[in-house]
């Protein structure tokens, strides 16, 4: 842990402190101008004359008056000591303090410490210790000039007094006074003190509104003169009590109780790559995972707290050799039992367990047999699977039914050396399925091993809405690419996925159709591209697919959105729709005069489907409802003019369920 803060950090903190304080000062009164001195003609006195000296008398002469010593304000002050910062200071007993790691704030009232927009005037000071080497000079006077230039207190800040060399408790120092005006037009005064030796510096900056300078400046000066500088000491390390030592490959159980976190210790070497898995044994226990070094400092960027499920640290490289402490606590003081596994990365068992919709879990491939996860699905479910490898691990993904047969059209999936995607995969029956993850095999049959992260979810979140399927080709004839328009409300999420053939590298973009502004772009891989777009405001938008450089070929596009999103369809598109309780979903289609559109709607659910074409004024142009529940409907419509129309698919009884819509032409 660092004992001092850098000069740059100090300047930032001081600027923030003064910014908060000056906001409190308020007011727009201009300072009263100092009147110019008046020059007057003073008469010259006449030369002195000889005045007779009176004879001495016996009247005693009074002794000269003695000077009354100034009161020591600091005599009644309270002592504050910062062992980590290496300084102490005295301050008025009715003031409040706050601070951390060698930085101390002292204020005349609580509002100046805590409120983002404090409403009371008063005095505030901040003290920071730092490395003297941060300054270009070791002379406190020159250090003062350099520091003040970095404070950024106000645009018109001016040093009106000093810098003046001083000695404070045996240490060289300097003082200065800065005047300025805050953003509200209120004048302020800042009293600055620097005390320095060869190793370090201590700076105090204290401020108050100009109108209360007479009240607070003596206090600021007394505080500055009370500062003692000494050798800092590291804070005492209070490591948690360990429940025992773990070796790589160990799995143990423990409990987080009302008494506090649970801790386990292990020995690691610099550069070792490890996995730590914490699996709560109760659904209501939200575990938090942290790892501390021998000084009690976390070696993680953040504590790990992803969800109520398994918490995992995968593929983590130890920064140094030594003893480490795995600390498991509960979010919001929750308690519960857990299972803890510590392992070298890539050595965990292959049969990982069960995964459910909406979960993201981690696993390892340690042999050519691969790693497996099982999940329960329902016939007609459309699922999304994402597998993200760690450390350049080239993996292969397959999905097997209960008989061990792949349900993928192209099995297995190994499109890239990076993330593998399976999107909108329909489950052919209800039952158990297995996700099989293996490593890529080289020419000699050797299989790669490594760690990965697996996510399983229902396509479109399983919500009512639409999944649009389209196929197209990009080549030199369509340089501008293809657009996929839609209209949506603010806050809706629309997902666009493009899966090109190997020869084609695509760029995917989303635009505001009302302003033609580019909002997002995806070009991360040579294969699958995806944009998950949150609509910023009600309006019209479109996705654009373009080819990268001179590549060419076919691609499949999939668009997913809620039932309130209106997608524009084209001949050849296929749609999977899921009704909500209203039993209505609409799409836009642009027809040309004389063209014939053929719509076919099918369902595996007990739905009574209705197909209808309406103009832009909501007038019905054609409708069909010939079949009973569970039957398919076909509607053929000839366009008399070039016109956009709405295609409405509805359920006669407003039932919920799923349908398939196909668009063809005669």
Distance CA 339, CA 328 (A): 11
Q: Where are the alpha helices (DSSP H) in 294-391?
A: none
Residue ranges of the chain whose pLDDT lies below 50: 1-42, 66-70, 115-120, 350-351
Q: CB–CB of 465/493 below 8 Å? A: no
Closest CA to 291 of 310, 266, 255: 266
Closest by CA position to 583, among listed 555, 606, 557, 616? 606
Which phi and psi angles does 262 have, rounded to 5°? Answer: -110, 135
d(C-alpha 474, C-alpha 188), whole Å: 66
Total count of residues recorded for the chain: 666
Cα(454)–Cα(435) distance, integer angstroms: 10
Taking only Cα atoms into account, the Rg of the chain, rounded to an integer number of angstroms, comes to 38
Cβ atoms of residues 431 and 407 within 8 Å: no
Residue 275's nearest CA partner among 153, 133, 449 is: 449
Residue 14 host element (H or E) = helix 7-25
Tell me how far apart the terminal alpha carbons of the chain are, to the nearest angstrom.
75
User: What's the token pair of residue 257?
Assistant: 């109780």
Instruction: Give the chain's count of helices (H) and strands (E).
Output: 4, 42
Long-range contacts of 588-592 (CB under 8 A, 24+ apart): 588/485, 588/487, 588/644, 588/645, 588/646, 588/647, 589/644, 589/645, 589/646, 589/647, 589/663, 590/642, 590/643, 590/644, 591/637, 591/639, 591/642, 591/643, 591/644, 591/645, 592/639, 592/642
Q: Comparing C-alpha atoms, which of 162, 125, 136, 177 is closest to residue 17?
A: 125
What global pTM score does this model have? Answer: 0.50
| Alpha-carbon 199 to chain mean position | 37
Helix H or strand E encompassing 10: helix 7-25
- ∠ CA 131-132-137, nearest 5°, is 150
Both tokens of 382, joined, read 């459309």
3-state helix vs strand vs coil in the chain, percent to 5: 10, 45, 45
Name all contacts of 176-183 with Cβ < 8 Å and 24+ positions apart. Answer: 176/144, 176/148, 178/148, 178/151, 178/153, 179/210, 180/153, 180/154, 180/155, 180/156, 181/154, 181/156, 182/22, 182/23, 182/25, 182/154, 183/22, 183/23, 183/154
Taking Cα atoms as reference points, which of 426, 433, 531 lies closest to residue 486? 531
User: Do 302 and 354 form a contact (C-beta atoms < 8 A)?
Assistant: no
Cis bond before residue 438 (omega within 30° of 0): no
Res 496: pLDDT: 97
Measure the CA–CA gap between 295 and 239, rounded to whole angstroms: 8
Domains along the sequence of the chain with CATH? 7-28+72-229 (3.40.1000.10), 251-344 (2.60.120.380), 359-456 (2.60.120.380), 467-560 (2.60.120.380), 570-665 (2.60.120.380)
Whether the CB-CB separation of 305 and 313 falls below 8 Å is answered with no
Q: What 3-state DSSP class applies to 150? A: helix
Cβ burial, residue 224 (10 Å; 0-12/13-18/19+): buried
Q: Which two tokens stand for residue 654?
A: 């407003």
Cα 650 to Cα 582: distance, rounded to the nearest angstrom: 8
* 289 CB-near residues (< 8 Å, 6+ apart): 276, 278, 303, 304, 305, 311, 312, 313, 326, 327, 328
Strands 228-229, 200-209: pairing kind: unpaired
- What is the CB neighbour count within 10 angstroms for residue 197? 15
pLDDT digits (tens, 9 = 90+) for 44-92: 555 555 555 555 555 555 565 544 444 567 778 999 888 878 889 999 9
Looking at residue 661, its pLDDT comes to 97
């Amino acid at each position: 842990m660092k004992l001092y803060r850098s000069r740059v950090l100090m300047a930032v903190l001081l600027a923030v402190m003064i910014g908060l304080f000056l906001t409190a000062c308020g007011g727009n009164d201009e300072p009263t101008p100092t009147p110019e001195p008046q020059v007057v003609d003073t008469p010259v006195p006449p030369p002195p004359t000889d005045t007779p000296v009176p004879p001495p008398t016996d009247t005693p002469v009074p002794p000269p008056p003695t000077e009354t010593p100034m009161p020591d304000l600091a005599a009644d002050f309270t002592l504050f000591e910062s062992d980590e910062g290496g300084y102490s200071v005295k301050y008025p007993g009715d003031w409040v303090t706050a601070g951390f790691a060698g930085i101390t704030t002292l204020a005349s009232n609580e509002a100046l410490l805590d409120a983002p927009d404090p409403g009371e005037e008063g005095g505030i000071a901040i003290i920071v210790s730092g490395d003297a080497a941060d300054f270009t000079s070791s002379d406190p006077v020159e250090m003062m000039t350099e520091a003040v230039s970095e404070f950024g207190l106000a645009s018109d800040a001016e040093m009106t007094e000093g810098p003046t060399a001083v000695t404070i408790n045996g240490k060289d120092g300097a003082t200065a006074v800065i005047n300025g005006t805050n953003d509200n037009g209120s004048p302020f005064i800042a009293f600055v003190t620097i005390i320095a030796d060869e190793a370090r510096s201590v700076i105090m900056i204290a401020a108050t509104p100009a109108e209360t300078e007479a009240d607070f400046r003596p206090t600021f000066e007394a505080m500055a003169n009370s500062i003692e500088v000494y050798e800092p000491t590291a804070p005492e390390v209070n490591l948690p009590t360990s429940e025992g030592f773990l070796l790589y490959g160990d799995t143990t159980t423990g409990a987080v109780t009302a008494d506090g976190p649970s801790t386990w210790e292990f020995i690691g070497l610099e550069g070792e790559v490890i996995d730590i898995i914490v699996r709560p044994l109760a659904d209501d226990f939200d575990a938090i995972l942290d790892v501390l070094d021998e000084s009690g400092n976390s070696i993680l960027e953040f504590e790990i707290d992803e969800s109520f499920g398994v918490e995992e640290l995968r593929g983590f490289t130890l920064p140094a050799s030594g003893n480490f402490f795995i600390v498991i606590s509960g979010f919001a003081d929750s308690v519960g039992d857990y299972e803890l596994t510590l392992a070298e990365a890539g050595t965990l068992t292959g049969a990982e367990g069960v995964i459910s919709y909406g979960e993201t879990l981690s696993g390892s491939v340690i042999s050519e047999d691969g790693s497996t996860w099982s999940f329960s699905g329902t016939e007609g479910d459309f699922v999304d699977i994402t597998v993200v490898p760690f450390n350049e691990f080239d993996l292969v993904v397959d999905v097997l039914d209960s008989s061990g047969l792949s349900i993928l059209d192209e099995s297995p999936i190994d499109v890239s050396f990076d993330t593998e995607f399976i999107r909108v995969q329909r489950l052919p029956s209800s039952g158990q399925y297995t996700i099989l993850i293996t490593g890529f095999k080289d020419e000699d049959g050797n299989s790669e091993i490594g760690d990965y992260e697996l996510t399983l979810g229902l396509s479109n979140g399983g919500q009512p809405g639409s999944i649009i399927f389209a196929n197209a080709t990009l080549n030199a004839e369509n340089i501008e690419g293809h657009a996929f328009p839609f209209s949506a409300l603010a806050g809706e999420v629309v997902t666009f996925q493009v899966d090109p053939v190997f020869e084609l590298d695509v760029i995917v973009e989303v635009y505001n159709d009302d302003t033609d502004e580019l909002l997002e772009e995806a070009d991360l891989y040579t294969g699958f591209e995806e944009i998950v777009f949150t609509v910023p405001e009600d309006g019209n938008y479109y996705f654009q697919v373009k080819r990268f450089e001179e590549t060419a070929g076919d691609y499949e596009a999939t668009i997913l959105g809620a039932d309130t999103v209106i997608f524009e369809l084209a001949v050849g598109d296929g749609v999977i729709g899921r009704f909500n309780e209203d039993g209505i979903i609409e799409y836009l289609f642009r027809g040309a005069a004389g063209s014939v559109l053929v719509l076919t709607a099918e369902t595996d659910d007990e739905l009574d489907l209705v197909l209808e074409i309406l103009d832009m004024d909501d007038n019905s142009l054609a409708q069909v409802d010939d079949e009973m529940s569970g039957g398919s409907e076909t509607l053929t419509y000839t366009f008399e003019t070039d016109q956009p129309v709405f295609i409405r698919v509805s359920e006669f009884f407003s039932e919920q369920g799923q349908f398939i819509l196909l668009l063809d032409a005669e």
